[in-house]
Chains A and B, each alone.
Chain A
């Protein structure tokens, strides 16, 4: 696909992982260069230091706005967010000039050890309130808005639905929401509910960013969806994206998260599919680098 097809409007961004910068179909800078003109922004996770963030900006992002995807600050952790890590990563956000920061709401560690794979929280009122408290504490020490992300759910537990939980979180913290449509699908699969119903149950009026990525349903257990980022985007997730874009009035960015197992052709095909969907919906992003930032503690 050429840039002319979309009139050079960047409608979506890439969601990238700095740890895998050499393992994508092309190296991260080459990948970003290949899609230059078609990208509205970048989102990057696992940037460990300001120096790495500088390299990322110089080699990959250039003038594009950047979302800083945090790696395990974890406001849902039993002891609350890791403010030491969060404060350390503020230097990364500074270099990125982050439009906002985000993170999946879940449990990331057992004691001091990061889990090999994180866990969605118990969907309980007491946990939602704890997350609200954590987001407030993060707000006190950062100049960047934190946007909680709906987590991937291979198993769901608790007496609240995903929608009830995130209404309580976003209302309590009075914050925006990052809607990952593949994660919405994973929850719907896990609880055997219609994915359209799950989507409609969420506070879509608070959504400012949507994530979309590939994955597949576990062939040995059909209520387990694996959000790999390394497979094609399933048709149900594309349906969810279409409906979410139409029903999220404050949506500012759509991020296509890519994994290392994705081939160049699959990546291009899904990029084009998402780009086409957004063009058909006549939706354009409104994401830009912040011109200035509030003083710490007042954001």
Chain B
């Protein structure tokens, strides 16, 4: 699992500019590793922290910060869950919660590999679970691709935070133009899907989507269909419609 490289936070502590101090603030709000590293540096700041940054960080109440960070992680989980409820139906809390926590505390959180925050999370989770469960990795691959082609996320705030800080979705991916995909296609070329603007695929030992193209809502064997070798295809159509299918290989 990709974790947070301490080097970035260390470099931010040494830089003497507004952007670095702002990024440090954001990292403190989401990353426990960054916060711990900063707290340690403040105990013995000589040569580790720029003087101005040191005096700015001295204004941070680290106990309040830990409460704030816990609240933000809860908000992040709820945001991801509302973006794609079926994924949460597939996975139990014990599986998904540590993955979201690890995502917020990883370099991946700060690097935009996916088109959306949800796809970015799926990319992280796909890689994080790949060694222990191919099934989970494939599930994250499937949901990540669906998110990639879907309408942009609505950024409505969770219920227990300031509702006047709601956002607006971006333009989303221009599906008429080819774009580099961060997903591994497993060497498979997606079939020609009539009417589709784009399609991506990957091999899986599980069917994952049923005859009607419905996404899994459980990882029970009955819900996943017959085991075998499949090419999972996700295709984007005009109007932000997304379709998925499992083709036997």
Contact = CB atoms under 8 A, between A and B. Distances in A.
A127 B22 contact: yes
13 contacts: A19-B156, A19-B166, A85-B168, A104-B165, A108-B167, A111-B110, A115-B167, A118-B162, A122-B25, A127-B18, A157-B56, A221-B64, A227-B163
Nearest to A153: B162
Interface of B: 18-19, 21-23, 25-26, 29-30, 55-56, 59-61, 64-65, 67-68, 71-72, 75-76, 78-79, 109-112, 116-117, 120, 153-170
Nearest to B23: A78
Given A117-B162, A124-B18, A158-B56, A46 B79 contact: no
A155 to B, nearest CB: 4
Contact of B168 (A72, A213, A229, A230): A72
Contacts of A108: 165, 167
Contact of A157 (B25, B110, B160, B165): B25
Contact of B21 (A20, A112, A119, A124): A124
Contacts of B110: 110-111
Contacts of A41: none
A159 interface: yes
A211 B161 contact: no
B204 to A, nearest CB: 27
Interface in A138-172: 149, 151-152, 154-159
A17 B112 contact: no
A6 interface: no
A113 B120 CA distance: 9
Contact of A78 (B19, B153, B157): B19
B68 A224 contact: yes
Given A113-B116, A117-B162, A230-B163, A46 B168 contact: yes
Nearest to B109: A110
A280 B93 CA distance: 52
B37 to A, nearest CB: 17
A186 to B, nearest CB: 8
A75 interface: no
Interface of A: 15, 17, 19-20, 45-46, 48, 69, 71-72, 78, 85, 104, 106-108, 110-119, 121-122, 124, 126-127, 130, 149, 151-152, 154-159, 180, 183, 186, 190, 211, 213, 215, 218, 220-221, 223-224, 226-230, 257, 259-261
B110 to A, nearest CB: 6
Nearest to B164: A257
Contact of B67 (A112, A183, A221): A221
A126 B17 CA distance: 9
Given A110-B109, A257-B164, 15 more contacts: A17-B166, A20-B156, A71-B166, A104-B164, A107-B25, A110-B30, A116-B78, A117-B75, A118-B162, A119-B25, A122-B25, A122-B56, A152-B161, A157-B25, A230-B163
A278 B154 CA distance: 35
Contacts of A155: 29, 61, 64-65, 68
Nearest to A73: B168
A235 B144 CA distance: 46
Contact of B64 (A48, A121, A159, A190): A190
B22 to A, nearest CB: 5
Query: Which one of B21, B61, B168 has the greatest number of beta carbons of chain A within 10 Å?
Result: B168
Contact of A228 (B56, B76, B117, B159): B159
B59 A19 contact: no
Contacts of A85: 168, 170
A106 B167 CA distance: 12
- Residue from B30, B59, B161, B163 having most chain A Cβ neighbours under 10 A: B163
Contacts of A154: 68, 71, 161
Contacts of B153: 114
